[in-house]
Chains A and B, each alone.
Chain A
Amino acid sequence: MIALGCIALGAVLLMLLSAMPKVRMEHCSLFAFVTLLIGLILTLTSFGELFTFFPLPKFFHKMLIVDSYSVYFDAIILSGALVTSLIGTHYFQTKRHFKKEFFSLFLFSVFGMMLLVHASELLSAFIALEIASLSLYVMIGFQKVHDKRVEASFQYLVLGSLAGIFFLLGSAFVYAGLGTTILGEMGNRLDTLMGKDVSLVIIGATLILVTFLFKISAFPFQNWTIDVYDGSSLPVSAFMAATFKVAIFGFILRLMLVDFDPIRDTWDTLFIVVIIATLLYGSFLAIIQKSLKRMLAASSIVHTGYLLIAFVSIGYAGESAASSIIYYLVAYFLSAMGAFGLISYIAADEHVRVTYEDFRGFAHVHPYMAAMLSVFMLSLAGIPSTIGFVGKFYIFTGAIEAGYTFLAVCGVVATFVSVYYYFKLIALMYFYPACDSDWKDVPSLKGITPLTIGLIALAIIWGGIGNTFIAYFPGVDFLIDTARLSYMSLFIK
């Protein structure tokens, strides 16, 4: 909670600072970084404890909640933002079109995401969602001279607002059916209505689910994803892919686990169709892409499909499914952040080194960068000894435990297909002679950005094989245990 206030204060201060002519962009970047670091340290002080309470109940009227669950998600979001700002350092310095206000918007967006996982009421959740999204729309279209940016920003704005309408309409239906919009109380009212007609609540919850599926880009609502990710600058797409998805899942898991628990199996069939379609269509989109950035955007749709598999199996194996979602979010966040970050470091311009072909023989010129890029691709594909494998392992075993063997098989098949588009890059980098491209503008491995990316690559391998080497150092088990703990904190009365 203090971390939340810290980020909000930092964002406002940064906004005022950016109006001063003397302050330079580097100062703003540093200020945002320090704010995020303080926020992360404040969050980590209560990380791994089991607790739940309503902060200032007289003031907020149970609209916000602080528990181990939200603290866990806070930690993921804050470290995601921190990594984005570290990785982006090089990008922001070389591309001069990022003005000072960009970092203020960045902090506001982080604030909105944190507020979303703390939200304990539908309307405050909506406001948090809009704070996060509105800042993102502006961040995407920040480079006004570039047509692609403006188009992406506008498309996301229009469709995102449409999704917002669905959320509001859904909240209205839920309020009509239950007479409250406070999470927790909604679940209690729903329990008393058992056996009666609850179609209003089901309709409302379906509309809220539409917003949710839109924001995580699941099948019928996925057609904005590639254009928007491709149109936005690389650090922003990394931030969107990794961090925003975490926040959305944070809220919707709370809603589904605590409140709509009695009616959740209504959507089972719907979800199975959505998952299979998401995996199929996402894989298809990823295969046909020629540009790396578009491929990563399309593969984020496939990863949404994997996450949704765990989301359906919650009904039958609640704890393990929920913690596997949380774990997979961490795994995906690390891999995607690394991949997007490294590509943003390598690609000097929008027109240089964007397609697969441009990376032909890259390993012979820059072996370390190629090795790191391979680690990220391996982790995204879910090859053993990376964190991505452990994440997929938990999701598929959870699905089999819950009785969704068919979905698990679909997931595994999609993983096999994904090997094609991830390994294409590795094969091109290693097994072909270097193309006659000019590699001079690729920066050397110096400074904070490559260091961060290297650390992420190490963390990915650590998450896959670590744990047994050094005792008492946090690894996979620690993350899974804390995820279980945060799941338990949802049900403390």
Chain B
Amino acid sequence: MTHMDFAHPYFGAFFLFVFGAVVFYGITVLARRVSRNMARLDTEKLKLTIYECGPEVTKQPNKISAHFYLFAVLFILFDVEIIFMFPWAVDFKVLGMFGFIEMILFVVILTIGFVYAWKKGALEWHSIK
């Protein structure tokens, strides 16, 4: 093995431990500071709108509904399924029965998620329960 040339072999372990601690502290302190200083504490409606010389902003005509993300997520579900299925289909004979059962399990798990989303009304526009 050729790697670190530290004087003490366990210096690396200690260094990583300290590094981990520093990263954790940094992130908590930073997150707290950022959320204290940069969060918009003033939640009055007019102050948060785009500057329009007083009147409230009109609705944009070509706005994309926030519900669109559900379709995007469901699309990714099937996209990933196909990505996994391609190499499996190519090596179908090599993998044999084992691969077949694994793939069935995979599809079943995805189907359960899909059925849940369907029942929740994710496929119908504006009807999330």
Contact = CB atoms under 8 A, between A and B. Distances in A.
Interface of A: 12, 15-16, 19-21, 58-59, 151, 155, 158-159, 162, 166, 177, 196-197, 199-200, 202-203, 205-207, 209-210, 214, 220-221, 223-224, 266-267, 270
Given A220-B24, A223-B24, A15 B16 contact: no
A20 B112 CA distance: 14
Interface in B1-36: 1, 3-4, 6, 9-10, 12-14, 16-17, 20-21, 23-25, 27-28, 31, 35
Contacts of A199: 1, 3-4, 6, 9-10, 12-13
Contacts of A58: 98
A162 B23 contact: yes
Interface stretch (B50-58, B68-76, B115-123): B115-123
B21 A19 contact: no
A166 B24 CA distance: 11
A202 B12 contact: yes
Describe B's contact surface by its main secondary structure: helix
Given A15-B116, A200-B1, A200-B3, A270 B27 contact: no
B20 A12 contact: no
A210 B16 contact: yes
Contact of B28 (A19, A20, A166, A223): A223
A328 B10 CA distance: 31
B13 A223 contact: no
B129 interface: yes
Across chains A and B, which 4 residue pairs bring their CB atoms closest together, nearest first?
A: A19-B119, A220-B21, A210-B20, A206-B13
A202 B10 contact: yes
A59 B12 CA distance: 38
Nearest to B4: A199
Contacts of B13: 199, 202-203, 205-206, 266-267, 270
18 contacts: A16-B112, A16-B116, A19-B115, A19-B120, A20-B119, A158-B27, A177-B1, A197-B1, A199-B6, A199-B13, A202-B10, A203-B12, A205-B13, A210-B17, A210-B20, A214-B24, A221-B20, A267-B13
B1 A159 contact: no
Contacts of A151: 35
A162 B3 contact: no
A468 to B, nearest CB: 46
A199 B1 CA distance: 9
B24 A21 contact: no
B94 to A, nearest CB: 16
Contact of A158 (B4, B12, B31): B31
Contacts of A21: 129
A205 B10 CA distance: 12
Given A197-B1, A202-B10, A207 B16 contact: yes
A96 B107 CA distance: 35
Given A197-B9, A224-B28, A270 B20 contact: no
Contacts of B21: 220-221
A15 B16 CA distance: 41
A203 B19 CA distance: 12
Interface residues of B, number: 27
Contacts of B98: 58-59
A205 B4 CA distance: 16
A31 B31 CA distance: 39
Contacts of B14: 270
Residue of A158, A177, A202, A203 most packed against chain B (CB within 10 A): A203
Given A199-B3, A221-B21, A16 B9 contact: no
A209 B24 CA distance: 14
A276 to B, nearest CB: 15
Contacts of A205: 13
Nearest to A209: B17
B22 to A, nearest CB: 9
Nearest to A196: B1
B46 to A, nearest CB: 22
Contacts of B35: 151
A203 B16 contact: yes
Nearest to B9: A199
Residue of A19, A159, A162, A205 most packed against chain B (CB within 10 A): A19
B112 A202 contact: no
Contacts of A197: 1, 9
A199 B25 CA distance: 26
A395 B93 CA distance: 57
Nearest to A151: B35
A16 B10 contact: no
Nearest to A13: B112
Contacts of B9: 197, 199, 202
Given A19-B120, A158-B31, A159-B28, 14 more contacts: A15-B112, A15-B116, A16-B116, A20-B119, A151-B35, A177-B1, A196-B1, A199-B6, A199-B12, A205-B13, A209-B17, A223-B28, A224-B28, A270-B14
Contacts of A12: 112
A16 B24 contact: no
Contact of A155 (B1, B31, B116, B129): B31
A456 to B, nearest CB: 33
Interface string B75-100: 00000000000000000000000100
Nearest to A15: B116
Contacts of A20: 119
Contact of A16 (B23, B25, B115): B115
